Chain A
Amino acid sequence: MAGSIDHEIALGTADDLQSLPILGKLHAWVVTVDHKRLGIMYIAGGLFFFLVAGLQAATIRLQLAVPDAGIVPPQVFNRLLTMHGTAMVFLVGMPILTGFFNYLVPLMIGARDLAFPRLNAFGFWLWFFGATLLYFSYIGGDGLYGAGSAPDVGWFAYAPLTELPFSRGNSTDYWILSIFLTSVGTTATAINIITSAFCMRCEGMTLSKMPVLVWLAVVVAFMMLVALPPLSAAQAMLLLDRFVGAHFFDTQAGGSAILWQHFFWIFGHPEVYILVIPAFAFASEIIPVFSRKVIFGYSVMVAASCAIGFISLSVWAHHMFAVGMTPAGNSFFALSTMLVGVPTGIKIFNWLGTIWGGKLRFKVPMLFSLGFLFQFLVAGLTGIMLAVAPFDWQLTDTYFVVAHFHYVLIGAIVFMDFAAIYYWFPKVTGRMLSETLGKWHFWLFLIGFHLTFDTLHFAGLRGMPRRIYTYQPGRGLETLNLVASIGALVQGVAVLILVINVLRSLRSGDPAGNDPWDAWTLEWSTTSPPPEYNFAVPPVVRSRRPLWDLKHPEDPDWKYE
């Protein structure tokens, strides 16, 4: 194969470091501005924190397996839940999606890199140091004896719990600064993706011929640009409160606790869609290939994604139905939230339309994608239940909500991240992941996921609030929680299988070839892994599926589009 891993790495090595091969390789990765290497580093970093925050989740489930357990003290538990939530959103979900977009967008639009390679590297290192800073709080956060180390205010850090009287020491400052840094890095990536998609497309690729994934990357990037500044602004205000005695959220001095909630959720709800639209993007690439059919309703899929982007900017206060809004306010946000269900439903129907009449091949990426379809359907429907404001008065801040958003975050996003890993791993490394281990991974993870999160819905309906470090016996919660904890263990075993699969394939996986899945987008036309310049000759396309046109010259796509 033209581009083996060693060959690829040697390209970036400085001469004076040749005498120390390991240092030289490391140096090449540190100074790289190549979108593929940065993408790999984003994904590898995201997976690393996925394991760390996953272990924290496992500890949480261990503590909650039985009532009145004393495995971790409450202070430690509260840090665990805060770090788990913050890390899974900012240190896992975000880098994995930016990593895949970094890697795939230039390849899919036939470009040699993103528009601003140095800005890309800058964004990555901001994310990297922001992420490190968050976990460094365990070592350096103990600003005041007994005030605790890592943040313990929950991932949405409601004021005034984050104000100095209630959060002494430096733990909350670590939370603010690390997320602030990763947000700036993400903004840089967003600008890069938008510019690249609009200015760097290869000859013949009009906007309406961009792969769905690239379209969705653009939607996500725009949402990042709109959604992240409110969070950064609110965090700056909180820093002012904490360090120079401002009173934005300081209720004891007349500040507003609700103001923080508005700022946070104006960021927070679009954030959910920033995380889930990439899952839609992966599904829109993977499902057609393994159904052997073109995506059903390309333009409707793109339009629905844009609609989700717009509507999701107007739904934030559905996280605040219980704060005592006026009935009119509650009604407005109930309506806007339900309306998001319409374009989301359209997407599910179109994937169904893609499967319909196809010839389904149940490779591991397809298995994860099908799991995603069912689970995202459930997550959407429980979302509709939560949009019914009065029902939400019962359900908000309970384990029903925990189960609902884990259905989105794991059942949809993590499932599609796994699908994407199995699908694009051959392209990135030139080696196949094992199908057998992949199927073990899929089935165990599926079983574990449903054991945990199906049962937690019912715990919430029985009155179990989220973020409690323990619960008393006799409240009808014991069995549900024990089953949920067993499910967490099964999921842990499944992730271990993924780790083994990846390590094994990196050493001795089957060679992948350029196009192992018989797919249709441009990244499969170059070598695996692609050379640093991606394409020896800039490609020219005539349709949305350039490789279909090549493989079926008798019946090309451009005749129909």
Chain B
Amino acid sequence: MIRRESGAIPEARNARGPYLPSRWRRKNALSYLVIKNVLWYSFNVTEIRDGAAAWAAAITGAAKILYALMKRWYLTIAIIGCAPAAAFANDWGMGDANSKIPPSSVFNPVSTPAREIDTVAFFVVSITAVIFLIVAGLLAYSIVRFRARPGDDGREPPQVYGSNPIEFAWTTVPVIVVLVLFLTTVRTIYTVQAAARPHDALSVHVIAHQWWWEFRYPGLGIVTANELHVPLSDPESPTPTFLDLESADVAHSFWVPRLAGKTDVIPNRKNSMWIDPQVAGTYLGQCGEYCGTEHAMMLLRVIVEPRADFDRWVTAQKQPPARDASVGHGRQVFESTACVNCHTIRGTAAGGRFGPDLTHLMTRETIGAGVAMNTPDHLRVWVTDPNVMKPGALMPAMNLGDKDLDDLVAYLATLR
């Protein structure tokens, strides 16, 4: 009758669904039924489509609910109270983490391309603001000034058919404004797009996947995911990072507002862009081109570190993860299940390329392309069924037993 689309296990709904205490549920069986049905039908109505029977059930259900509501007005209040509760779901620790980072405003740039854009944006916003004030002012003035007043004599006002000098004036002025804006625009386009790549610039190969980011550092032999580490650039002697963008499946767009404008990542095409962040810190970015189910949760972070810290990170990433004998069984689970088809862990049998490289999983702040903070608890939820955190994610639910699951998570937690 009513099918779930994501193929998630039923428990998945509890993670985001309404929660009603069971004692209350027993005492108020009717109320519970009503609330459950209202929530179910109102939130899943587009999925009810298996023929007339389902529609009839829905309509009867709605009628029953309406009847019950008419008899018990306080239920209405209860339902309205429940709706926000259903709306707020677990944010997996991301709210706290995000609020420590300034919003990704395009007007708060820390890198040359974003700064250039900010400058030209300030210019065009100023010009358009002046135009708005003048034209809207004239409009407002004429609306007030020329309103028909009570006690009007009813005669038509003088008919003015037009004026060529005035038309000429208000054609010429916009043309001049356009030319000025155009020249400014062209200068910025060339500054950003035609910048030469220094031969010693750091290059990162960005590969967009549905719905995560792969970062490969060709010169360094590092592969990581969703969190891009780049060195701080000194304005005096810039050390820019050039990003070569390619897609493994559909069109995406690489966008970190405080570092640069977005550049589309398109399959069968090579694009590139560059950044030279001048303030250390973490910058939030996100896929900017609609790419399917989890487009919203294709997040990324750029971590800008002083050169020495960056070099330390590079050294650590180059090492294979330390072997820990105490998690041998977890490792065996990893190597003997489907995990290895998609994931790589250097120094093990796992060499899959479809999913993120997990060699240094625990050095990342987040999992699932920024959907949750990277803690063992969250990892356990993720491995059990990624659909709980990210409905539609392409990683399947692993259906492991509790012991295997615990050991596997314990093993993953050692991948530093």
Contacts and interface: CB of A to CB of B under 8 A. Distances in A.
B91 A293 contact: no
B89 interface: yes
A165 B289 CA distance: 18
Contact of B91 (A68, A323, A387): A68
A345 B170 contact: yes
B313 interface: no
Given A256-B268, A463-B257, A389 B189 contact: yes
B147 interface: yes
A392 B117 CA distance: 9
Contacts of A509: none
B94 A465 contact: no
Contacts of A388: 120-121, 124, 181, 184-185, 188
Interface in B264-303: 264, 266-269, 271-272, 284, 286-297, 299
B186 A293 contact: no
B157 A391 contact: no
Q: Give the most central of B97, B117, B264, B272: most A CB within 10 Å.
A: B264
A199 interface: no
Contact of A161 (B99, B146, B190, B292): B292
A80 B47 CA distance: 12
A362 B185 contact: no
B56 interface: no
Nearest to B393: A74
A552 interface: yes
Given A251-B267, A323-B264, A330 B193 contact: yes
A322 B105 contact: no
B156 interface: yes
A353 B162 CA distance: 8
Interface in B68-97: 84, 86-91, 94-97
Interface in B391-416: 391-392
Nearest to B94: A472
Contacts of A395: 106
Given A66-B87, A394-B121, A461-B105, A334 B5 contact: no
Contacts of B194: 327
A300 B182 contact: no
A297 interface: yes
Interface in B164-204: 166-167, 170-171, 174-175, 178, 181-182, 184-186, 188-190, 192-194
Contacts of A293: 156-157, 159-160
Contacts of B86: 70-71
Nearest to A145: B3
B262 A391 contact: no
A405 interface: no
B268 A390 contact: no
A384 B128 contact: yes
B5 A357 contact: no
Interface string A252-292: 10111110000000000000000000000000000000011
Interface in B91-136: 91, 94-101, 103-107, 114, 116-117, 120-121, 124-125, 128, 131-132, 135-136
B236 interface: no
Contacts of A161: 250-251, 290-292
Interface string A328-368: 00110011001101100110111011011111111000000
Given A161-B251, A339-B178, A362-B147, A149 B98 contact: no
B325 interface: no
B219 interface: no
B250 to A, nearest CB: 4
B104 A462 contact: yes
A377 B291 CA distance: 33
A292 B250 contact: no
Q: Give the most central of B114, B120, B193: most A CB within 10 Å.
A: B193
Contacts of B284: 463, 475
A389 B189 CA distance: 7
A455 to B, nearest CB: 14
A192 interface: no
A258 B268 CA distance: 10
A103 B32 CA distance: 54
Nearest to B147: A360
Contacts of B124: 384-385, 388, 391
Interface in A220-276: 251-252, 254-258
A322 B186 contact: no
B16 interface: yes
B267 A160 contact: yes
B58 to A, nearest CB: 14
Given A298-B162, A473-B99, A324 B271 contact: yes
A72 B16 CA distance: 11
A138 interface: yes
Nearest to A79: B46
B6 interface: yes
Nearest to A253: B268
Given A71-B87, A475-B103, A396 B391 contact: no
Nearest to B181: A338
Given A160-B249, A335-B178, A472-B94, 8 more contacts: A70-B86, A322-B261, A331-B185, A346-B171, A473-B95, A475-B104, A477-B103, A557-B159
26 contacts: A70-B43, A72-B46, A75-B391, A160-B267, A251-B266, A292-B156, A298-B162, A300-B162, A322-B262, A350-B162, A355-B142, A361-B148, A373-B139, A378-B132, A384-B128, A385-B121, A389-B189, A390-B116, A392-B261, A394-B106, A395-B106, A397-B290, A469-B296, A472-B98, A474-B97, A476-B105
Minimum-distance CB pairs A-B, first 3? A393-B261, A474-B98, A463-B104
Interface of B: 5-7, 16-17, 43, 46-47, 49, 84, 86-91, 94-101, 103-107, 114, 116-117, 120-121, 124-125, 128, 131-132, 135-136, 138-139, 142-143, 146-148, 152, 156-163, 166-167, 170-171, 174-175, 178, 181-182, 184-186, 188-190, 192-194, 210, 249-251, 253, 255, 257, 260-264, 266-269, 271-272, 284, 286-297, 299, 370, 391-392
